[in-house]
Amino acid sequence: MKYAIISDIHSNLNAFEHVLKRIEEIECDKIICLGDIVGYGPFPNECCNLVQKQSEFCIMGNHDHAAIGLTSTTYFNQYARTAIEWTSAELNDGNLEFLRHLPVQEEIENLLFVHATPRKPLEWNYIFSLYEAHRNFEHFEQHACFIGHSHVPAIFMHEEGEIPSLEQTEKIWLVSNARYIINVGSVGQPRDNDPRASFGVFDTDTGLFELERVNYDVQKTQKAMSEKNLPLYLIERIAHGR
């Protein structure tokens, strides 16, 4: 089975549509979404509708959780908070209901899917360091855990009895005597100094994971954001990927 694993769309419909086109080109069997469908961007309803139509399942993200009033907006910086408040008001009843029912984590084929961390998924912590990765490897048993949340793609590998390592690659064959935490990056607001939309592809038959990057019309999204009076800081950052 070839899975496309997408995360952090953040209401960026234009980026999401380009990613879906690429997913179709490379013939993935199923799409899994790791959450943060909404927040930051201009098209929350359209992105919720598309995720429901296209994905096998979607995990709860912190912006989704805040948009339905469950994570306090005081957790966020002022720009994110403004966007979440705008998003909450913009979402229709059907999509608010859809977001309310998102699971915190899911498992298939010995793979775990969660938005932030397997350790305490609703605390919305980040895994940037090897130390954080190490702590989290103790909190799941599956062969690999796929995450989003930081908007920075990363592959952490842990061999039994060894210290975890950060694999500097966009393509890796997962081996059976190691376990992995893989961050697939962000579709709608990448933060690794590369503005292209990011997502992952994992083939359970071959064990191959590949990170995909897709160009999209950033200015089109920026124009829609400015028409909806979203914060200038959020409009500018997507052009730089940070």
Question: Given the complex with Zn ion, which of 36 and 192 has the nearer CB atom?
Answer: 36
Nearest partner of 39 among 64, 59, 19, 14, judged by Cα? 64
Q: How far apart are CA 36 and CA 46, in angstroms?
A: 14
- Give min distance, CB of 175 to Zn ion, in A: 30
Nearest-approach distance from CB 205 to Zn ion, in angstroms = 30
Question: Least distance in Å: CB of 39 to Zn ion?
Answer: 7
Residues in Cβ contact with 224 at an 8 Å cutoff, skipping those fewer than 6 apart: 13, 14, 41, 42, 43
Q: Which residue is nearest to Zn ion (CB)?
A: 36
User: Which residues lie below 8 Å from residue 40, measured CB to CB, with a gap of 6+?
Assistant: 10, 11, 12, 63, 80, 83, 188, 189, 230, 234
Residue with tokens 């019309």: 217
Task: For Zn ion, give the closer residue by CB, 8 or 192.
Answer: 8
CB-nearer residue toward Zn ion: 64 or 158 = 64
Chain residues binding Zn ion by CB under 5 A are 8, 36
> Please, what is the minimum distance in Å from the beta carbon of residue 237 to Zn ion?
12
Residue 106, exposed/middle/buried by CB under 10 A (0-12, 13-18, 19+)?
Answer: middle
| CB closer to Zn ion out of 87 and 157 | 87
